[in-house]
Each structure stands twice: as structure tokens, then as C-alpha cells.
Amino acid sequence: MTLSPTDWQWIGFNAFILAMLALDLLVFHRRPHEVRFQEAIGWSVFWIGLALVFNAGVFVLQGRQAGLEFLTGYLIEKSLSVDNLFVFLLVFSYFRVPARHQHGLLFWGILGALVFRLVFILAGVALLERFHWLMYVFGAVLIASGIKLWREKEKKLEPEKNPVVRLVRRVLPVTGEFEDGKMFVRRAGRWFATPLFVVLLVIESTDILFALDSIPAVLAITRDPFIVYSSNAFAILGLRALYFALAGVMKMFHHLHYGLSAILVFIGAKMLAIDVVKLPVALSLGVVAAILAVSVWASLRWPKRAGAGEAPGH
């Protein structure tokens, strides 16, 4: 069997991603510890820089169009993934996860997210190639999600109602302690899940729900599965570091959810009008960047008043 250049492209990229994850887990974070702000900023800069270097390679090897598609997809995925950060904060607070175990949980959560995203992307591309009308369905879903996000008063977390968590609790008993970072422990001949495993399930199942918005949004920019997956992968890989860098200041961006809502509506409208108006990728990139900039500026320009209730989206 002879592998095509496209096959080698996929193999090489996934080998690189696995190597970076192994280096992160086995070398730089071999011992569980609380990730400090300075360390998180360093890793955030590293992952963003790595994504931009890869983007430059796409520009050189595949041309300007592919380069702009990757950059736009990366920016969309990165911005939408910020919403994940608020959920991570709620999950860790709800389960009182010790700071030293949070990085490891996010590592395994992101590894699972990469696998699920790959499956969703390949399925999404295949379906759109066969059923063009699904573009209209995806567009309508994105607009509905954007409107829902705009109206959302506050993030709610009800892990006990999560069907995956409920299933695990029926099958496996769960310990009351974190068991020194282990997912499972064996006692008196029986296996027990630990709260860390339950938290991991909550993170994974939540990411699947987020993927239902973010992946169609990127598919509106390009149908190239490699561009969609690689832009998703780089955005997700930098999510852990971004969480620890922003965990203490996320409440400052209380208008950001309006920007994310506007992005979903814009991309949804773009998908609905795809057979009538074809917006250049560069224009889509500019619109997404402008919406993000305005929402961040508005959050800083009009900070939440002391003593006020939780801002929408938090």
C-alpha cells in the first residue's frame, strides 16, 4: 500500500501533536503542581507562536487562500473556546478540584477532545459533500446558538444531571476523596472511580456540546478537513495554558459573550447565504477579529460595577 502526500501530511501532523503532548506531560509537567500565572503566560505564548509558525508554513506550502482559511478557523475556534474556560472554572469550583490536579485533568480532557473533533470534522465534511442542504441546517443551528448565548444570563452547572455522569455512578461506585490524582482505585477486590474521573467526564461531554457550534463555524470557512482539524487542534492545545493565565481575570471580560454570540450569528448567516453571497475569507477574518476586539474593549471600557450581580455569560 502506497501512502499519498495527503496521508503523510495527516500522519506527520498527528505525530507532531502527540510528541508535543508527550513532552508536555512527561517532561515539563511530570509532577502535578499548581500552574502559576507566569508559567501559564509562557505556555500561552508558546502555543500561539507555534500556531502562527504553522500558519506561515501553510501560507508557503499551500498558498494564501489556505493560509487565510487556517488563520480564520484558528481565530474562530480560539475565541469560541474561551467559553469553555468559564465552564472549566465552574467545574473545578463545583467539585473543589485541587489546583495541582487541574492541569492533568485538562491534559486528558484535551486529548479526548482532539479525538472527538477529528471524528466530527471528518463526518461533517463527508456529510456536507454529499448533502449540501446541511449547510442551511448548520447555519440555522449557529444562529440559534448565538441568540441563546446572547440571552444567557449566567452559566449554570448541574453535573448530577449529566447523563454520562449518572451512568458511571450507576456502574461504578465513586470515592469521596481525590486519591492522589488517580482516576480509579481498587479496594477490597472492587474498582472505584474517583471524583477526578467524574470531572473528566463532565469536561469531555461539555466539549462535545461546544464542538457542535465551533466545528460547523469553521466548516463555513473551509471544507478542507486538514485545515479545519489543524486549526482546531492548535486552538485546543493552547486552551490549558490560556485557562491558567486567565482564571483570575476572566470576570473582567463580562461582555465577551456578546461578541461570541455575534460571531456565531455572523457565521450562521454566512452559511445560509452561501449560494447567494460568497464572502472572501479575508473579510470573514476581519469581521471576526473586529467583533472580538470590540467585545474585549467594551468589557474594559465599562467594567462590572462592584457589588453588582454576576454578569451575563459567567
Question: Domain residues of the chain, as ranges?
Answer: 60-301
CA 24 to CA 46: how far, in whole Å?
A: 12
CA distances from 278 to 63, 136, 198, 270, 274 (A): 19, 14, 44, 8, 6
Percentage above 70 pLDDT, the chain: 89
Q: Which position has the higher pLDDT, 64 or 159?
A: 64
The string of DSSP letters for 166-214 reads HHHHHHS-B-SS-GGG-SEEEETTEEEE-HHHHHHHHHHHHHHHHHHHH
- pLDDT of residue 309 exceeding 50, the answer is no
Measured from the Cβ of residue 236, the count of other Cβ atoms closer than 10 Å reads: 24
State residue 71's pLDDT score. Answer: 93
Q: How far apart are the C-alpha atoms of 226 and 222, rounded to whole Å?
A: 10
- DSSP 8-class letter at 279: -
- ∠ CA(34), CA(39), CA(45), 5° rounding? 140
Q: Across the chain, what does the average pLDDT equal? A: 81
Per-residue pLDDT averaged across 175-196, rounded?
A: 81
| pLDDT at residue 156 in the model | 65
Residue 67 three-state SS: helix
Q: Choose between 294 and 301: higher pLDDT.
A: 294
Is the Cβ–Cβ distance between 244 and 39 less than 8 Å?
A: yes
